[in-house]
């Protein structure tokens, strides 16, 4: 596969260092981060026909990725100390 689009570092460049910190220090965030990347790879594989799938399944994969992205962003922007 070539460069996978929608990587979190590209989606939220202003939060790259915070994501790294949270991946090291917060197990819940690390789990969200990893789940997003698994979903993103699945979408990319389907979109590039590496793993062809139905349109309905691709839509579900995209929805899952979007939900995880929203959760990651909410976590990054929450006022946590």
- Please tell me the predicted confidence (pLDDT) of residue 1: 42
Give the Cβ contact number of residue 42 at 10 Å. Answer: 18
Q: Under a CB-based contact definition with an 8 Å cutoff, are residues 7 and 60 in contact?
A: no
pTM of the predicted model as reported, rounded to 2 decimal places: 0.87
- Round to whole Å and give the CA distance between 51 and 57: 11
Give the per-residue pLDDT at 4.
66
Mean per-residue pLDDT pooled into runs of 10, the chain (81 residues): 76 96 96 97 94 96 97 89 45
* Sequence-distant (≥ 6) Cβ neighbours of residue 36 within 8 angstroms: 8, 65, 68, 69, 72
pLDDT at 16: 96
In the prediction, which pLDDT does 79 show?
72
Q: What is the pLDDT of residue 80?
A: 56
């Amino acid at each position: 596969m070539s460069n996978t689009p929608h990587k979190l570092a590209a989606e939220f460049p202003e939060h790259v260092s915070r994501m790294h910190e949270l991946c090291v220090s917060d197990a819940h965030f690390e789990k969200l981060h990893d789940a997003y990347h698994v979903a993103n790879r699945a979408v990319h594989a389907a979109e590039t026909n590496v793993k062809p799938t139905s349109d309905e399944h691709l839509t579900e994969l995209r929805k899952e990725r979007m939900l995880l992205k929203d959760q990651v962003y909410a976590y990054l922007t929450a006022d946590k100390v």
